[in-house]
Chain A
């Protein structure tokens, strides 16, 4: 299986901060990666697909970049509704695998 190493596992930030989350794949996955936001008791919500394409309806403060083995999710200016957990998912090779998640908490 492809291992997705996500970092950090948690971070504390304030409204307005720029936040960066990274996923590293154990082997190249082209751009076959998505980013998800999950709030307690809810299903994950897709933010980014194809590593850098913004899901319709998702605010433009969210962006994704990377290809191959290194990927980044950036929130340019953190908003109160962005405090949540974030996950990456690779779908290049079966089985699809998720990162372990990043919890973004209030500083």
Chain B
């Protein structure tokens, strides 16, 4: 049974760094990409970026300048850091898995439970 469990600070001040971690249970790291997505009532769902087991990353250009996604394969965990947070980064953040085989990748399947992050002074 695949399960993603995420955690991190829920309240930040402007200019601080948002930091979240997602642990993967019941599945190995390889053969998938590990993603971060966020959701707000005004912008909807927004893909932030992904990492694979080799450490290769892809980021949304809109956030690339401030985002780092890293992985610790020994712990089956991956993390999100978003620097210089502002109120516009207030959102529910999700981690999620995407399966890729030799031919193609598929849509996100398993998701974490979500973490509300509020950026406020």
Contacts and interface: CB of A to CB of B under 8 A. Distances in A.
A89 B108 contact: yes
Interface size range of chain A in the complex: 20 to 34
Interface in B48-84: 58-62
B interface, by DSSP: helix, strand, loop or mixed?
strand
Contact of B94 (A43, A55, A87): A43
Contacts, number: 54
A43 B112 contact: yes
Interface residues of B, number: 22
Interface stretch (A12-20, A65-73, A74-82, A92-100): A92-100
A interface: dominant SS: loop
B112 A89 contact: no
B107 A98 contact: no
B47 A43 contact: no
Contacts of A98: 44-47
Contacts of A89: 45, 107-108
A91 B105 contact: yes
Interface of A: 32-34, 42-46, 49-50, 55, 87, 89, 91, 94-101
Interface of B: 44-47, 58-62, 94, 96, 98, 104-109, 111-114
